[in-house]
């Protein structure tokens, strides 16, 4: 999952860098955005943004699960120590 998010982030960065180096006027960019390729690019950008959001949610859930597991292990170890 993290590898997929990393790939998406790299693609997003490359798309952003290519857009930053453009010498087009605002009117040309607006016209290009209305082409099929422009619309596909917008859809791809939206997908990347949504994937990044989902990745952050998954990361938070994994962090919480790892924390809960560590706490459970500590508690079990403490109970084992108390029995001895």
Residue bearing the bigger pLDDT, 2 or 64: 64
pLDDT at 22 over 60: no
The contacts of residue 66 (CB under 8 Å, 6+ apart) are: none
What three-state secondary structure class fits 44? helix
Give the domain range for residue 39: 2-83
pLDDT digits (tens, 9 = 90+) for 41-73: 889 999 999 999 999 999 999 999 999 999 999
Q: From 56, 22, 59, select the one nearest 41 (Cα to Cα).
A: 22
Q: How many domains does the chain have?
A: 1
Mean pLDDT of all residues in 25-36: 79
Residue 51 near residue 43, CB atoms below 8 Å:
no
Sign of the alpha-carbon torsion through 45, 13, 32, 29 = positive
The reported pLDDT for the residue numbered 5 is 67
The reported pLDDT for the residue numbered 20 is 57
């Amino acid at each position: 999952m993290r590898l997929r998010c990393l790939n998406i982030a790299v693609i997003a960065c490359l798309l952003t860098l290519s857009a930053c180096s453009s010498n087009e006027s605002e009117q040309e960019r607006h016209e290009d955005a209305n082409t099929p390729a422009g619309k596909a690019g917008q859809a791809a950008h939206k997908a990347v943004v949504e994937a990044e959001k989902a990745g952050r949610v998954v990361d938070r859930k994994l962090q919480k699960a790892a924390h809960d597991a560590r706490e459970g292990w500590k508690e079990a170890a403490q109970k084992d120590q108390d029995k001895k």
